[in-house]
Amino acid sequence: MSLKDFQRPKITSAHIIAVAALVISCAGSASAAIVITSAQIKDGTVTTKDIKNRTLQLRDINPTDRAKLKGADGASAFEPPPAGTLVVGGGLIQGYVATAGGQLTTYTALGFTPAAPLSEDNPTRNVYFAPHASVIDTNENGTLCPGTAAAPDATPGITCIYVAATTNVEPNSTAVYAGVTASTEGADGHGFNVTPDANAVGQMIFRYVWAYRAP
Q: What is the pLDDT along the chain (215 residues), one digit of tens a residue?
A: 554 554 555 555 555 555 555 555 555 554 455 677 767 777 777 777 777 887 877 777 777 777 777 766 665 666 788 999 999 999 999 999 999 999 999 999 998 989 999 998 888 899 999 999 999 999 999 999 999 999 999 999 999 999 999 999 999 999 999 986 655 566 788 899 999 999 999 999 999 999 999 99
Pseudo-torsion of CA 55, 56, 60, 65, nearest 10°?
Answer: 180
CA dist., res. 191 & res. 178, Å (int) = 7
Domain that holds residue 161: 86-213
> Are 50 and 96 found together in one domain?
no
> Are 64 and 91 found together in one domain?
no
Q: Encode pLDDT of 155-210 as tens digits.
A: 999 999 999 999 999 999 999 999 866 555 667 888 999 999 999 999 999 999 99
**pLDDT of amino acid 102:** 95
Task: Say if 43 falls within a structural domain.
Answer: yes
Pseudo-torsion of CA 63, 68, 70, 73, nearest 10°?
Answer: 130
> Are 97 and 137 found together in one domain?
yes
Task: Say if 35 falls within a structural domain.
Answer: yes
pTM metric for this prediction? 0.65
Pseudo-torsion of CA 122, 150, 207, 171, nearest 10°?
Answer: 60
Task: Say if 129 falls within a structural domain.
Answer: yes
Number of domains within the chain: 2
CA dist., res. 17 & res. 29, Å (int) = 18
Task: Say if 73 falls within a structural domain.
Answer: no
Task: Say if 79 falls within a structural domain.
Answer: no
